[in-house]
Structure formats: C-alpha cells, structure tokens
Amino acid sequence: MYDYDLLVIGSANADLVIGVERRPGAGETVLGSDLAVHPGGKGANQAVAAARLGARTALLARVGDDGHGRLLLDSMRNAGVDTAGVLVGGAPTGVALITVDPSGDNSIVVSPGANGRLTPEDVRTASALLAASPVVSAQLEIPLETVEEIVRGLRPGTRFVLNPSPPRELPDEVLAACDPLIVNEHEARVVLGADAGATPSEWAEALLARGPRSVVVTLGEEGALVADASGVARVPSVKVDAVDTTGAGDAFTAALAWRLGTGESLTESAAYAARVGAVAVTREGAQASFPSAEEIASM
C-alpha cells in the first residue's frame, strides 16, 4: 500500500492577479482592476486540485518564510494536502504576475523566488516521499536539474507525469520517463523545435518519437489528444463559458495523474481531467476554482 495517491513536486507561488480590458503593448500603460492575491504555482495548484478531488496528495516544494508562504501553506492544508515535504526559507516565496482579459485568457510572468532553490539534494533527501506514491507529477517552474533528479530517483513501477511549463528543450532522460508528457500547442512547439509539424496529431506523433511512453496534447475548447504505442485518440471538450483560465491546465494535469494511478486508461483519465478543467475555467482564480469530486460526478 502507498501512503499517497499522488506526489507533486514543483512550484508554489503567490498569484497577483489584475483584470484588464486588453494587455499593454511595449511602453504602454493600461488601467486594470483591483489587485487580487491568490495561492498558486503549478506544483501547489496541482496538489490542491488533486486533494480537492479526493486524492491523498503530498507536495515537495519550497516557499519563503513570509506572508505569501504562509498563505500557500494554509491553502494547501485546508484542501487536505500533506505539506510535510514543503521546505521553508532560502528565498522569498515565488510570485506570479497575472493579467486576465475579458475572454478569460491570461498572460503570466513568474519570479521563481524560493522555487529556484528547490535543489536535486532536496529531492534526494525526500527519497522516502518519492517511494510513497504510485504517481509523481512535475512541471518546469523549478530547476531542470531538479526535474532530472526526480527522474533518477523514481522507484520501479512509479509513473512520472510532466507538464513542461514554462517550456524548454528536454533531455532524453526526462522525455523517456514521461508517461504522459502533457503539453499545449505552445509547449509542444517549443519542445519539438523545427520538427513540430502542422497539426495536433503530428505534434503528438513527433513527441512520442522523442521517447515519452505517452503524450497528451491539450487543445482548449477543442478538447485534447492522447497518444501512446496503440495510436492517437481524441478526447472531446466540455462546453462552458470561460471566466478565467488561470490554473485550468494544472487542474487537468492533477486530475489526469490521479486517475492514472487508480488504474484508468489514458483516454479515460483525460476525459475526466477535461471535465475538471472545464469547471475550473468558469471561476476566477486558480486554487479557488478547483472543483470537488462531487461536482464532477454531477456533470
């Protein structure tokens, strides 16, 4: 028996959110809404999303010894996340500066802060935590060398889920461990470079050729594609009126990773995750928007 259903290793940020009519151009100033501060960061978001769905979830991350760090710890604990692996100190808590336009689309600039101090040594020290879950999920708001150490520290049989955001080229060692690699269009193009291709199916097939055991390409309102050695399948979207897309991708990734750990197929897990992501975009904020299992069951 495992102690957890999902271990998330990644970032924890304070999200500083301003609504705008449109994003400013170079050298331009625009007026926005009042500033709202929400707990966020891809790692913390995924952990909270999974815990809210009922998964036994732990997080390995680093926050500062400051007000933003306390905000994050309180939010995670209230959602049921085990925060014993959250390290405190070393730098201020990471901050994400987010603008959201009337359509719900967002633009984000991240100051990594303490996230940049989550080191390979921290991962090695937490080896018992890595062995306590059948699925480990990560992102790229922490140093790439730390993600590489996660892959090296996985126990046989542990499933590794990676959302390479913010995107960059990935080492073969990391790509080979992904099951799945979860990307949107922008992330797929960055990871693939000149070999990206023109269609989502081509992106998925090209990514599989790089070494991942499976790939998920998220397509927003058009749903998602899942691909593995058996072929490519389409997952339909759930039609909703989007208010704020912040954190929706994290909710999707968390739900998919958790359901894979329960034994569901990649396609089944992605379909469930699509429903979770759809609910998240109908509400403002990241962690505050994540639904419960009961809400998803009633859809």
Would 1 be classed as within a structural domain? no
Confidence (pTM): 0.92
How does pLDDT run across 222-281, given as a tens digit for each residue?
Answer: 889 999 999 999 999 888 888 878 789 999 999 999 999 999 999 999 999 999 999 998
Domain that holds residue 160: 6-21+32-297
User: Other C-beta atoms within 10 Å of 236: how many?
Assistant: 10
Q: How confident is the model at residue 106 (pLDDT cuts 50, 70, 90)?
A: confident
Q: Detail the residues annotated as belonging to a binding site for ATP.
A: 184, 218-223, 249-250
Name residue, tokens 């990649």: 266
Name residue, tokens 């990871």: 191
Q: Token pair for residue 33?
A: 């809404």
Report CA Rg, the chain: 18
Number of domains present in the structure of the chain:
1
Would 26 be classed as within a structural domain? no
Q: How confident is the model at residue 62 (pLDDT cuts 50, 70, 90)?
A: very high
Would 148 be classed as within a structural domain? yes
Q: How confident is the model at residue 288 (pLDDT cuts 50, 70, 90)?
A: confident
Would 205 be classed as within a structural domain? yes
Q: ω into residue 166 within 30 of 0, thus cis?
A: yes
Would 15 be classed as within a structural domain? yes
CA–CA separation, 165 and 73 (whole Å):
22
Measured over the CA atoms of residue 180, residue 162, residue 293 and residue 102, the dihedral's sign is negative
CA 202 distance to own-chain centroid: 23
> Residue 212 above 80 pLDDT?
yes
Would 27 be classed as within a structural domain? no
Question: Catalytic: 250?
Answer: yes
How does pLDDT run across 164-203, given as a tens digit for each residue?
Answer: 999 999 999 999 999 999 999 999 999 998 777 788 899 9
Q: Detail the residues annotated as belonging to a binding site for substrate.
A: 13-15, 41-45, 141, 250
> Residue 3 above 80 pLDDT?
yes
Q: Token pair for residue 41?
A: 């960061």
What pLDDT shows up at residue 242?
81
CATH number of the CATH domain containing 290: 3.40.1190.20
Would 214 be classed as within a structural domain? yes
H-run or E-run covering 14: strand 13-19
* Alpha-helical regions (H) of 214-265: 248-261
Q: How confident is the model at residue 60 (pLDDT cuts 50, 70, 90)?
A: very high
Residues 143-153, mean pLDDT to the nearest whole number:
98
Of 5, 82, 179, 250, the catalytic one is 250
Chain length of the chain: 299
Q: Detail the residues annotated as belonging to a binding site for K(+).
A: 244, 246, 280, 283, 285, 289
